[in-house]
Each structure stands twice: as structure tokens, then as C-alpha cells.
């Protein structure tokens, strides 16, 4: 089978390797679609993410759908939860598998991910896809799960004003979810004009380009000087963090979902303390796939139009370059015919 391995800085190579052999409790999968995530781009452009560094040629990819390749459910299309939680540590037992002390995650550290033709993965991590969902839709359920978890942490209530700083795929999904939760006003910002326009299309009443006038001033202007109840930072940029803290009201919440390039996030202690803010950080997702599938299947949320670029597996290296340039929104690598 073909695999795509990251050997070093922006150095992706296709290899021919033996097909995997499923262990007990695992299912052999034919990979269908794989999304390129911002965290994949950290590995691609920086050879790591946070304190995890590239130590051997690594297969990236954790946003993916697949087809069961053997056994009684052969041919079943599935979405795949990329995090393998142990189920027995303190945090798993408390219902927080995303904080598992022993987690194994696809395409991270020493665990190969989904940029390959086949892989064996725990059967308990597979979620059947309804006929109405495409393979690309299935891959998009992972970033949707992260967005759902972020919104869960934000506790949006009907009538609230919400801001989203950073309108990549997760930010745009948060915009859609905030609308579903009943936010009366949604404000969004991004450095890229096409993502600002996308935010408007997905439900942001006010959307600004980050390079324009200071965002907190604009947000205060459109909220009659009040600010926002919940601010979601999904850019991974310090400027977005600063703007989120400046825009949120006293007693409000700041939800940090972005991953900074330098592994550092800071904020003004005086601002946060005087406002009495609640600050939460998003760690992947938990228990979100069934809800994500229902939202997409019922037409309540649009993941399909977020996919702006599709590449064949043979052109996966080009797909990474396009994604790194932020030319569209979501870049997908597919084994399907284009």
C-alpha cells in the first residue's frame, strides 16, 4: 500500500509499504478522505507541535473517513475518531477521554495517521456514516467535533453576543454552531478576506478583516459599546488572543482553541482579573461524533461547502503546500476518482 511520510521540514514522500494487520479489537480500513488540519501544518512547517517533535518519518492525518475492508461489516463507510483513549485512567473514568493520560492520537508523536491507503484502528472508534453523508463529510466530522467541544465550553445561551477570532474551518464551524445555539449577534474576524466573507455567509452579522482598524473598537461599535459575552479564539495568533480579551464583557468567557506557532499564549492579567473572566482551553473533543453526524445529516450545519480544494493521494504533497498558503478553507486528500 502507499503511505505518505513526513521526513523533515516540508519533506513529504510517498512510500510503498506492507498493509497493516489488525490486532484484536481492531478493524482494517480503506482510507477514503483525509483533511489537512492546522496541527498537521505545524508538523509540516515546523517538524512538530508543542513539545512533540519529529523523531522518525511520520504519517500525518487525523481528520478522516474510511471503508471497512474486511469482516462482517465489509463495505460499511465510517467516520473515525482519531484519539484512542485508554478508558481506565482517572480522566477517562471522569468522562474526559480528551484529557486521557495515555492517549494515542493518529498522526501525532510516534503514532502514524491516515495519509495512507489502509490502516488498522480500534473498532470502538468507528462511527457508521449515513448514506446522505459523503466521504469528505465524514472527514469533516473531526473538526466539527472540536468546534462542538469549544461551544460546549462556552455555554452559549439564546440572545448572547458571540465573537469568533479566526475563521478557518473550526472558527467557521463555531460561527454556525453559535447561530444554532441562538446567539443574537455573531461577530467574526480573520486576516484573510475570503474567510471574512465565508463568516458572513455562515451567519456572522458583522465580520471584519484583522488588518483593518483595531478589532475591539469595531466590536464595541457594533455592540453599542457593550462587548461580547463569549469570545472564541481560533486563530493560534497572539493578536487574536489580545483582541478576544479586550472584546469580552466583565464576567464573560474566553475560549482558546487556536494552537500558537511558538507554543506560547499570554494575556493581560489586569484585564482578565478586573473583568473576572472565565478562561478555558480546548483540548480536542469528547463524545461528539454522534451529535456531529446528526447535525450534518439533518441539514442543520454545513460542512460540505467548507471543502474548497481536493487532491488525489499522489498529489498530497501539493495539497499540503496549498493548505499552508491558506488559499481556501479546507483541503482534502482523497482516494476517490477526481
Quickly count: other Cβ atoms within 10 Å of residue 207's Cβ. 23
- Tell me the pLDDT band of 214, cut-offs 50, 70 and 90: low
CB 204 within 8 A of CB 176: no
State pTM to two decimals. Answer: 0.96
For the chain, percent of residues with pLDDT exceeding 70? 99
Express each pLDDT in 11-23 by its tens digit.
Answer: 999 999 999 999 9
For the chain, percent of residues with pLDDT exceeding 90? 93
Cell of 107: 498522526
The SS3 call for residue 126 is strand
Cell of 283: 483540548
> Which domains, and CATH codes, for the chain?
2-128+303-334 (3.90.180.10), 147-281 (3.40.50.720)
Please state, in angstroms and as integers, the Cα–Cα distance from residue 251 to each residue in 34, 118, 162, 275, 278, following that order. Answer: 40, 49, 14, 6, 7
Residue 93 has pLDDT above 80, yes or no: yes
The residues pairing with 164 across neighbouring beta strands, listed in sequence order, are 188, 232
**How far apart, in whole angstroms, are the C-alpha atoms of residue 90 and residue 163?**
34
Please state, in angstroms and as integers, the Cα–Cα distance from residue 317 to each residue in 11, 115, 287, 313, following that order. Answer: 8, 11, 32, 9
Mean pLDDT calculated for residue range 160-167 = 98
DSSP character for 188?
Answer: E
HSE-up of 290 (CA within 13 Å, CB side)? 2
**How far apart, in whole angstroms, are the C-alpha atoms of residue 83 and residue 29?**
16
Express each pLDDT in 197-213 by its tens digit.
Answer: 999 999 999 999 987 55
The per-residue pLDDT of the chain, averaged, comes to: 96
CA distance from start to end of the chain: 20
Amino acid at each position: 500500500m502507499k503511505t505518505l511520510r513526513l521526513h523533515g521540514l516540508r519533506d513529504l514522500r510517498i512510500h510503498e509499504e506492507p498493509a497493516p494487520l489488525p490486532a484484536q479489537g481492531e478493524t482494517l480500513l480503506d482510507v477514503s478522505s483525509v483533511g489537512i488540519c492546522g496541527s498537521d501544518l505545524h508538523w509540516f512547517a515546523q517538524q512538530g507541535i508543542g513539545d512533540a517533535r519529529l523523531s522518525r518519518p511520520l504519517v500525518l492525518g487525523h481528520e478522516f473517513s474510511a471503508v471497512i475492508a474486511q469482516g462482517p461489516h465489509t463495505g460499511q463507510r465510517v467516520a473515525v475518531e482519531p484519539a484512542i483513549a485508554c478508558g481506565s485512567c482517572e480522566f477517562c473514568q471522569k468522562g474526559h477521554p480528551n484529557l486521557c493520560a495515555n492517549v494515542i492520537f493518529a498522526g501525532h508523536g510516534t503514532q502514524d495517521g491516515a495519509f495512507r491507503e489502509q490502516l488498522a484502528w480500534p473498532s470502538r472508534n468507528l462511527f457508521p456514516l449515513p448514506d446522505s453523508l459523503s466521504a469528505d463529510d465524514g472527514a469533516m466530522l473531526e473538526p466539527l467535533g472540536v468546534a462542538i467541544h469549544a461551544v460546549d465550553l462556552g455555554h452559549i445561551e439564546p440572545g448572547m453576543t458571540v465573537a469568533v477570532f479566526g475563521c478557518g474551518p473550526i472558527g467557521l464551524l463555531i460561527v454556525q454552531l453559535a447561530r444554532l445555539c441562538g446567539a443574537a449577534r455573531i461577530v467574526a474576524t480573520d486576516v484573510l478576506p475570503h474567510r471574512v466573507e465565508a463568516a458572513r455567509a455562515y451567519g456572522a452579522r458583522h465580520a471584519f478583516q484583522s488588518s483593518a482598524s483595531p478589532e475591539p473598537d469595531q466590536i464595541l461599535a457594533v455592540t453599542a459599546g457593550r462587548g461580547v459575552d463569549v469570545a472564541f479564539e481560533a486563530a493560534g495568533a497572539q493578536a487574536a488572543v489580545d483582541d478576544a480579551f479586550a472584546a469580552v464583557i466583565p464576567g464573560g468567557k474566553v475560549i482558546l482553541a487556536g494552537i500558537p506557532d511558538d507554543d506560547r499564549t499570554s494575556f493581560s492579567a489586569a484585564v482578565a482579573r478586573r473583568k473576572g473572566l472565565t478562561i478555558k482551553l480546548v483540548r480536542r473533543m469528547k463524545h461528539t461524533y454522534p451529535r456531529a453526524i446528526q447535525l450534518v445529516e439533518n441539514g442543520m450545519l454545513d460542512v460540505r461547502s467548507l471543502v474548497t480544494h481536493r487532491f488525489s493521494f499522489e498529489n498530497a504533497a501539493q495539497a499540503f503546500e496549498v493548505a499552508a498558503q491558506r488559499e481556501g478553507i479546507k483541503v482534502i486528500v482523497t482516494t476517490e476518482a477526481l
